[in-house]
Copies of this chain bind each other. A is one copy, B any other.
């Protein structure tokens, strides 16, 4: 499925198209998008790329689903998510990244909202995101908080000494959406 939306035009293009299908050309595109962030170590970038390859090899059975944000046919951002094994309706957001040159125009927020819509449609109840407590990830944590995610757990020293894992969650089912509005006062 492709969702065609009018963009702000701020990144120099009139249209952003959201795409769920994965193509061979997405392998180098994902490497380049993730590397452009400056957030990830080489072995982490390799993992991002492996998830694309895994989907290309095994399709939906891989458990990794993708949404690409294309401008003129080229991805400038993407998200990767999937159901969590042995749960009923819990999903993980594995990656979300926007090419550095295209950031600051709300594309990450729109990608995340597209993920939430698909998770809800697939019967999902809760979407989880894990991130680091390090200062480098403060903008990341702020982004999730602005998108309605709350830090439900913190595992001290998880990634390494002094580097905790923070687990964010957002209820994405209908009940969750109502609760969200009530708690946040709309």
Kindly identify which residue among B47, B84, B155 contacts A169, using a CB–CB cutoff of 8 Å. B155
Q: Which residues of B contact A154 (CB under 8 A)?
A: 153
Kindly identify which residue among B47, B84, B158, B169 contacts A90, using a CB–CB cutoff of 8 Å. B158
Contact A157 B125 (CB under 8 A): yes
Contact B160 A87 (CB under 8 A): yes
Q: Which parts of A26-70 form the interface with B (CB within 8 Å)?
A: 43-44, 47
A91 to chain B, nearest CB (A): 11
Contact A85 B47 (CB under 8 A): yes
Question: Number of contacting residues on A, CB 8 A?
Answer: 25
Contact A153 B126 (CB under 8 A): no
Q: Which parts of A121-165 form the interface with B (CB within 8 Å)?
A: 125-126, 128, 152-161
The 3 tightest CB contacts between A and B, nearest first, are A153-B153, A88-B160, A87-B159
Kindly identify which residue among B43, B156, B161, B167 contacts A86, using a CB–CB cutoff of 8 Å. B43
Q: Which residues of B contact A158 (CB under 8 A)?
A: 84, 87, 90, 126, 128
15 contacts between A and B (CB under 8 A): A43-B86, A44-B86, A47-B85, A84-B158, A86-B159, A87-B160, A89-B160, A128-B155, A128-B158, A152-B153, A152-B155, A153-B153, A153-B154, A155-B167, A155-B169
